[in-house]
């Protein structure tokens, strides 16, 4: 294996060995998101003999391993507690028990290992437990009771701030405190893998006010946007009134997913003062359907971003010894309705990297609980838009089509995105499909993918 920062080496173990192979041949393809070193967690809708319920699963190559079938066949009969946790319809209870995280990873990897010594009966059972991913209707892998969205990219915050406050784009608190707001869990959906394919997102209506108008109007959003984000699921919770110390952050972070935090920019512009996002955000949030565990991402942990010259160091409670940066590449692709009708492939709009974020997922969790807020297994925190230092890494159309400010301090006309059909976009049109991808790559390790997050815009009601 290649060398890694010293704080990360302690987290890398035999389950990350790039030489491991699976008897599921598609998992050995170097281009797959889901090799045996990943073992992304999912949940899916299963039908058996006239009745239906949800099962837990693990994605391996182009297949889903049905854990419910394995439990029913007695594969985990030697550990009743583990068998119970894996027979549930969601991962919340397993997430609440960090001591089982490495056990599940090790046991599942052993079952899928090409070198495993399995008898004929076990080989028959595990083969029966495989389902094609493309034909498996994936559902939300965890019950999400609460959802918090952060604003962790200094590049995104600076770009957006410059549009509205060119002389003072970054507010003075930004470098001291991870900024976030409470979102709406009831409108979170998932799509991007299995038979579920794409989530339909209806264009929201809202109150907007043009700069030259005397009064606001109500109607369909005209400036609909996506936001490329990383989500983190909470593992073990904390009691109300108790903080989460930085050195205990690991047991509270279960795994990650991709997040599209759809945004109605014209609604947001009118409503966000003085309290921030509301109807501009709560109409829909789309997640990728798999959980990539923090253990799977251990080889891709890197130091957090270096503070700029003159930047303050984080306060003591936001500092710790582990490397909590994540070297995860993220991409946004778009396919218009016309492109779809003509059989054309999506085009990539941007590529960024989560390692450029100003605040890490550990700092977000620690700050969230620092006032005694009780976090619950399955709660979701999102990073805010992932934007990097160059234009090609901007994670939303609001930034991607922005051309800076003119000599008068006002924004220049937006520069639209050009599609291969001749269409242009400054914001999303009805029929547009947004596809988000994420993956981690490093020499000496297998590529670990986060799958896809997909959503298509439908006309307003």
Which residues does the annotation mark as catalytic? 156
CA-CA distance, 330 to 164, in Å (whole number)? Answer: 27
Question: Which DSSP symbol is given to 417?
Answer: E
Q: What is the DSSP string of 342-356?
A: TTPPPEEEEEEEGGG
Distances (CA, A) of 228 to 159, 399, 423, 454, 455: 15, 12, 22, 11, 12
Question: Which DSSP symbol is given to 372?
Answer: S
Residues in CB range of 316: below 8 A, 6 or more apart: none
3-state helix, strand, coil split of the chain in percent (to 5) is: 25, 25, 50
Tokens encoding 135: 């034909």
Say if residues 33 and 46 touch (Cβ distance below 8 Å): no
Comparing CA positions, the residue from 316, 244, 254 lying closest to residue 98 is 254
Q: For residue 172, give the 3-state DSSP assignment.
A: coil
Comparing CA positions, the residue from 269, 32, 229 lying closest to residue 147 is 229
Helices (H) then strands (E): counts for the chain: 11, 26
């Amino acid at each position: 294996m290649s060398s890694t920062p010293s704080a990360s080496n302690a987290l890398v173990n035999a389950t990350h060995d790039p030489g491991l192979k699976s008897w599921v041949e598609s998992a050995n393809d170097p281009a797959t998101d889901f090799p045996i070193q990943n073992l992304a967690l999912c949940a899916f809708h299963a039908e058996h003999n006239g009745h239906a319920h949800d099962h837990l699963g693990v994605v391996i190559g182009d297949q889903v391993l049905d854990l419910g079938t394995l439990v029913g066949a007695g594969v985990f009969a030697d550990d009743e507690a583990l068998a119970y946790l894996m027979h549930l319809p969601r991962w919340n209870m397993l997430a609440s028990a960090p001591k089982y995280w490495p056990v599940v990873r090790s046991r599942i990897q052993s079952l899928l290992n090409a070198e495993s010594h399995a008898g004929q009966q076990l080989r028959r059972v595990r083969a029966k437990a495989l389902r094609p991913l493309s034909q498996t209707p994936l559902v939300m892998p965890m019950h999400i009771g609460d959802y918090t969205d952060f604003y962790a990219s200094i590049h995104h915050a600076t770009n957006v701030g410059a549009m509205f406050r060119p002389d003072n784009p970054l507010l003075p608190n930004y470098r001291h405190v991870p900024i976030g707001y409470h979102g709406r869990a009831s409108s979170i959906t998932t799509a991007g893998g299995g038979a579920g394919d794409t989530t339909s997102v209806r264009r929201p209506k809202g109150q907007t006010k043009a700069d030259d108008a005397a009064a606001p109007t109500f109607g369909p959003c005209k400036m609909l946007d996506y936001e490329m984000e990383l989500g983190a699921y909470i593992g073990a919770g904390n009691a109300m009134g108790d903080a989460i110390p930085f050195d205990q952050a690991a047991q509270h972070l279960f795994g990650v997913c991709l997040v599209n935090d759809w945004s109605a920019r014209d609604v947001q512009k009118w409503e966000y003062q003085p309290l921030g996002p509301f109807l501009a955000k709560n109409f829909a949030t789309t997640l990728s359907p798999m959980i990539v565990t923090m253990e799977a991402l251990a080889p891709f942990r890197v130091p957090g971003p270096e503070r700029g010259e003159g930047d303050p160091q984080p306060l003591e409670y936001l500092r710790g010894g582990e490397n909590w940066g994540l070297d995860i590449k993220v991409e946004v692709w778009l396919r218009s309705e016309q492109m779809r009708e003509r059989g054309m492939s999506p085009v990539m709009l941007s590529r960024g990297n989560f390692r450029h974020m100003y605040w890490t997922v550990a700092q977000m969790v620690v700050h969230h609980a620092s006032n005694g807020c009780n976090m619950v297994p399955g709660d979701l925190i999102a990073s805010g838009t992932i934007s990097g230092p160059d234009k090609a890494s901007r994670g939303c159309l609001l930034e991607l089509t922005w051309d800076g400010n003119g000599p008068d301090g006002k924004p220049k006309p937006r520069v639209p995105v050009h599609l291969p059909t001749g269409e242009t976009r400054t914001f999303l049109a009805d029929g547009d499909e947004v596809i988000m991808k994420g993956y981690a790559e490093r020499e000496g390790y297998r590529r670990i993918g986060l799958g896809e997050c997909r959503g298509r815009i439908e006309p307003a009601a």
